[in-house]
């Protein structure tokens, strides 16, 4: 049974002093997650938010519909000129994201700490 997608935004600063919006997801990401994933992203002020980190640390499962929602988010971010990264993916979903071409639009990092250092 699919668990509900929960999400929130944290505004933080990288060690280099760059502002960053972290979208934290929890549960499963599927077709019913559109508002929790894409809707949450769309609340970010695009002019002020130049870098976005997607945190999948607490995501248990992502199905093909969920991946499509993530891709839609990446396309909107690319069109808005934002830099996108993702962290906390399991090895399986890191492989899936790489296979479907998400790495063309977003850098993948094992943890938030590694991502913050790189961003």
CATH of the domain at 85: 3.30.750.24
Mean pLDDT of 80-92: 96
Structural domain includes residue 10: yes
Mean pLDDT of 21-41: 97
Tell me, what's the pLDDT at 3? 84
Tell me, what's the pLDDT at 34? 96
Q: How many CB atoms lie within 10 A of CB 30?
A: 20
Full strand arrangement of the beta sheet holding 51-62: 6-13, 19-29, 51-62, 83-87, 106-109
Structural domain includes residue 1: no
Number of structural domains in the chain: 1
Mean pLDDT of 44-54: 93
Tell me, what's the pLDDT at 47? 87
Structural domain includes residue 20: yes
Mean pLDDT of 64-93: 96
Tell me, what's the pLDDT at 5? 95
Query: What is the full DSSP assignment across the chain?
Result: -PPPPEEEEEEEE-TTS-EEEEEEEEEEESGGGHIIIIIHHHTS-TTT--EEEEEEEEEEEE-HHHHHHHHHHHHHHHHTT-EEEEE---HHHHHHHHHTTGGGTEEEESSHHHHHHH-
Alpha-carbon torsion angle 118, 57, 21, 112, nearest 10: -20
Percentage above 90 pLDDT, the chain: 93
Structural domain includes residue 30: yes
Structural domain includes residue 101: yes
Structural domain includes residue 111: yes
pTM: 0.95
pLDDT for 1 beyond 80: no
């Amino acid at each position: 049974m699919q668990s509900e997608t929960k999400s929130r935004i944290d505004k933080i600063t990288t060690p280099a002093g760059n502002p960053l919006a972290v979208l934290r997801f929890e549960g499963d990401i599927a077709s019913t997650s559109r508002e929790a994933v894409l809707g949450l992203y769309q609340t970010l002020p695009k002019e002020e938010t130049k870098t976005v980190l997607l945190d999948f640390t607490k995501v248990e499962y992502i199905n093909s519909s969920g991946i499509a929602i993530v891709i839609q988010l990446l396309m909107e971010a690319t069109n808005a000129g934002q830099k996108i990264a993702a962290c906390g993916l399991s090895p399986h979903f890191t492989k899936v994201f790489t296979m479907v071409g998400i790495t063309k639009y977003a850098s993948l990092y094992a943890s938030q700490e590694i991502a913050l250092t790189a961003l």
